[in-house]
Every structure is written in C-alpha cells, then in structure tokens.
Structure 1
Amino acid sequence: MREHTVPGDPTLAVRDLGGDRPPLVLLHGAGGDSAGLLPLAERLRGAYRVVLPDLRGHGRSGAAPWSWAGALDDLARVVAALGLDRPAVVGGSLGGMLAARWAARQPECPGAVSLDGLPVPSRPDQLAGLDPTRAAAELARLEAVFAGMAAAMPDPAEADRLRRAMADLDLDAACRALAAPLLLVLATEDLPAQQPFAELYAAYRRGTLARLTAIAARQPRLRLHPLPGASHAMLAERPDRIAELVAGFLAERP
C-alpha cells in the first residue's frame, strides 16, 4: 500500500492499494477515515485498484469547511493526481452521499455505490405514516441529541456545519439527475443508538424507500437494494455481502 498527499486547499491524504486493475475509490463516513474501509478494500483489491482518500477535515487530510461542491472538487483532484481513468466510486454514509452526487455529475463513471448514504431525517414529511405532531416532537428530540454530540466535538461549529449539510442534501434530486449508474444499499435495522428513536427511523425508512422506488421507476440508472438484517453499520456487520454487492453491480458495467 502506498501513501499519497494530494496538494491543494485542503491537502488530501490518500491510501492506494495499487495495481493495474480498474480503479475504485472508497469513501468513508462522517467522523471516520479511510483506515476503517481497509477490510472492504482488501476484499475488492483482487479485481480493482482500490484508492482510499481521507475526506476534508477527516483523518490525515487538511481541515476545510464542509461543502458538497468542495468535497466533489476534492474527489476530482484525487482522481486527477493519481491518474485514475473513469474510477468507480463506493461510499458509506457521508461517503455514500458523496458517491451519489458524483454519479449525478460524472457521466463517464462506470458505476457508483452508496451504502446507506441517506440525509439526516429533519422534516415531518420524510416520516411516512407518522402523525405530524408526533413526527415534529420526535425530530426535535433527535435534533437535541445531534446538537449535543456536535457540541462535544473538537470543532463544534464545523461538526454542526457537516451535520446540517447532511440533513439538507437533496438525495431525491441527485437520483433523478443521475448521469451514471448508482446502487443504493439501504439499511433495514436500527443501530443501538437509534433504538430510542425506533418509531422515527422506521417511518423514515418507509418514506425514503417509497420515494426512491418511485424515482427508480423513471430513472433506469438507479437501483435500490434494501439489505435484510443490516443497520447503518452494514460495512462492519456484513463486509463479505457488501463486497459481493459492489463487485456484482460493477461487473455489469463496461
């Protein structure tokens, strides 16, 4: 494995498993870094040259205010600096959201995979089947938890900026605008930390699946795969199955 530093603002740290196989970029989630994706990278390296950047403000990369435009430009810098030709892009959580945005922007991408890269629930209309008054109360309770978590971070302002960007992402619009194929793997179970909000998250998953299913009926580049028995931590829970899904989806593409 080689280590690269991509210059610019911010500088970006990249792990590169090397080889002459088709390139695949793995993107980690919020609060993590590329090291957490190495088990998945090892499962994919036989078929791909796997490259793992640390996103801006994470791991060994430089600090910079989070924005989707900035993060997409960072990814483009990594692709150019390492000479990657039409890389596939796979990400979990925040990285999955970024992968979906990349697929909406890069028609030459052979395929992208988002592993439960969903916006943070923030509006009652996202919660299918939940009474609006109850939905608003549960969202307020969830917001208080998230605000407390952000306040405990080393940079509370940047943590809050990232959280709000994740809540404001219009995933539906990105899926409608796909220029490249996207597989969206969806969690079907709660994390332990989500269990106190089980009613909210169940309603959110129902609403999300219904909306995306309607979009997929009109958008042939979008494929949905709810993963039985998997939570938002599916990368840690089901690494072999995730690797199979990624490899199988990308094998369908030239």
Structure 2
Amino acid sequence: MTGERIELAVHDHGGDGPPLLLLHGAGRTLADWAAVAPLLVARHRVLAVDLRGHGRSPEGTWSLPEVLADLERVLEQYDIPHALPVGHSLGGMLAVLHASRHPDVTPGAVNLDGYGWGRPDQYVGLDPAYVEQRLLRVRKLAHSRFGLPLPADGLRELLAQQRATSARLGIPYELLEAGAVRSLRERPDGTLDVGPERQHAREMLAAIDSLDLFALFRDTPVPQLIGRALRPGPAIHGMEWFDALMAAYARGLARDLARLAEERPDVTIAEIDGTHAMLLENPKGVADAVLDFTSTAIPGPAV
C-alpha cells in the first residue's frame, strides 16, 4: 500500500534551544545517537527517530516521499517544523532531501558520511567498468543483510560480533549492544531478524541508488555541513578488493567535496577523525562539528 501513515518511534533528548532532528543510517536505529545527543542538548532541543522499518518504528513500503512525509509528521506533532535535520549515512541523505523540500523553514542540513556508492568515475584510479562489476557484488551483499531470520544461536553470535567491534574500534560495548538489540525485529512466526523487512530493504537500497547526491548538494538552497570520515573501515579478510575500492572512492569524494565547497561558500566540509562508525567512535568530534555549524547556520542568542 502506498501513502500509508507511519508513526515513528521518537526519543526526545530534551533541551531548550533551536531544534535538531537526528536521523540514523540504513539498518541502524536512533540508538546510534546515544553518545552524541547529550553533547548537543545544552544548546539545542534534540529529537532522534527510528526510520520506518527500523528499531521500534513499524514496517512500511519504502519510498523517499513516504519516508520524508514520516519526518514531516514528527515535526508537526512536536510543533518544530523549523528543526534542522542532522543525519548519518542514509540519514544524512534524508537530511539534505528534507531541507531541499522545505528551504523556507529549514535553516540548514547536516550530512555525516552519507554518499551511497556514488558514480564509477568517483573511484579514482580504477577503471569504471571494473568499478561497476564490483559494485554489483557490493549491492548483492548489502541486500543479503536484511530480512533473513537469525539462527537459533544468532543473537549470541550477533553480540559476539559487537564485542569484537568494540575491541577493534574502541567503541564502548554498551553502545553497540544497545544498537544491535534495538535493530532486531520479531516476525509473526517468532523468529528474529534485522529490520527492515526484506522487500522494504530492497526498496530502501533502490531509493538510495536513485539519488544523484552531488547534484542534490549543489541544488539545495540552504547552508549544509557535509562530514567525511578520515579513516577507512576495518579491513575485511578475503575482501581486499573491497578495501582498495573504498580507498579509491575516498579519493574521489575528497576531490568532489573540495570542488563543491568552492562552488558553494555556504557548504562546510568537516573531516571527522573516525571511520563510517563516527557516531560511536568519536561522538565529541561529531558534536563539535555540528555545534560549530549550527552556531552560524541558526541565528539567535541560543547558539
């Protein structure tokens, strides 16, 4: 069914200043903001949401107009239509899309490491045909993440993976555990899997692929903060080709972001010490970048 109304799960972190709406990435939940949000509330009213099909929010068909309408309803319910959206990964893309739809009331947008898989020409030093071939495999792997039931000992294995990630990246285990548990969804047959549901996940990934993000960045007529992770993700054993692919993409992103900043003086590029998991690895670095941006993007004594 299209046009269905989704009431999103919301965590109101409080605060009295200009409002911010925090948006997580694909397959993640509002728990990703647990360490960042407390650093923002001294100067902002802060809400975080679970996107449809994620965390505690209901499932629903996944299209960009519907997902953006979900966010608009949250802002209406809390009477903060002028909130500045702050998103990570997929959430960052949605933040800019929301601002592009409401430039009259939205003072700006923050996109933290939300670029999708980009264009083949952005993979500097690699043949575009090779990149296309590898991205087909990457997309297939991405599709396989969602909608498969956990085996009998799946939860134990999932939490063991979080402990390994904690040790490898220095992220407090409690943050990883909370996010992993919140991402689990119980299906009618009693099995657990990681949301969103498989068909909705396919719709979500197709929506991401449909975006021309650098055109969106250029055309959105409000100030933007665009964050980029300075460090690559952990190497994946047996997938050295993926590490090389991401290194080439990082070079292309750095090039294209520099050009964007030259074209748009109101676009700020922030290089954040961390991997794509920056919200959990370096919450202070993320919060500092956001607060520096809002101090100029949002006028008024509160910031």
Give TM-score, length-normalised by structure 2.
0.74
Q: Give me the whole-angstrom Cα distance separating, in 1, the residues matched to 2:132 and 2:289.
A: 36
Give ranges in structure 2 of 5+ residues lacking alignment: 150-192
Q: What CA deviation, in whole Å up to 9, does each residue of 1:155-212 have, x standing for no partner?
A: 2222222122222221112111112111000113222266731111111122223223
Map of 1:22 onto structure 2:
18
Q: What is the DSSP-based 3-state SS (H/G/I as helix, E as strand, rest coil) of the residue aligned with 1:39?
A: coil
What is aligned with 1:5? none
Query: Which deviates more from structure 2 when the two are superposed, residues 104-113 or residues 82-91?
Result: 104-113
Which residue does the alignment assign to 1:238?
282
1:180 aligns with 2:222: yes
Contact persistence 2:30–2:55 (CA under 8 A)? yes
1:114 counterpart residue number: 111
Corresponding residue for residue 90 of structure 1: 86
d(CA) in 2 for partners of 1:218, 1:136: 28
Does the CA contact (< 8 Å) of 1:24 and 1:51 recur in 2? Answer: yes
- Superposed displacement of residue 238, structure 1: 0.8
8 Å Cα contact 1:178-1:221 kept in structure 2 = no
Which residue does 1:252 correspond to in 2? 296
Matches of 2:42 and 2:18, distance apart in 1: 10
- Provide the C-alpha distance between the structure 2 equivalents of 1:74 and 1:208, rounded to a whole number of angstroms: 30
What is the distance in 2 between the residues matched to 1:35 and 1:144?
Answer: 26
- Residue 70 of structure 1 corresponds to 66
Give distance in 2, aligned partners of 1:65 and 1:189: 34
Cα deviation 1:107-152 (Å, max 9, x = unaligned): 222222111011134x422312212343233223323322332463
Q: Does 1:214 align with 2:210?
A: no
Cα distance, 1:136–1:20 mapped onto 2, change above 3 Å = closer
- TM (normalized to structure 1)? 0.88
Q: Give the C-alpha shift of residue 247 in structure 1.
A: 0.6
Tell me the number of residue pairs that the alignment of Structure 1 and Structure 2 aligns: 245
Misfit runs of 4+, over 6 Å: none
- Aligned-residue Cα RMSD (Å) equals 2.0
* CA contact 1:184–1:222 (8 Å) conserved in 2: yes
CA distance in 2, matches of 1:173, 1:136: 20
**Aligned mates of 2:235, 2:62 — CA distance in 1:** 25
Mark the structure with the bigger radius of gyration: 2
**Structure 2 CA distance, aligned partners of 1:150 and 1:144?**
11
Q: Which one of the candidate residues 29, 35, 43 is aligned to 2:31?
A: 35
CA distance in 1, matches of 2:265, 2:101: 16
Matched to 1:64, the amino acid is G
Return the structure number with greater relative CO, CA threshold 8 A, min gap 6: 2
Structure 1 residue ranges without an equivalent (≥5)? 1-7
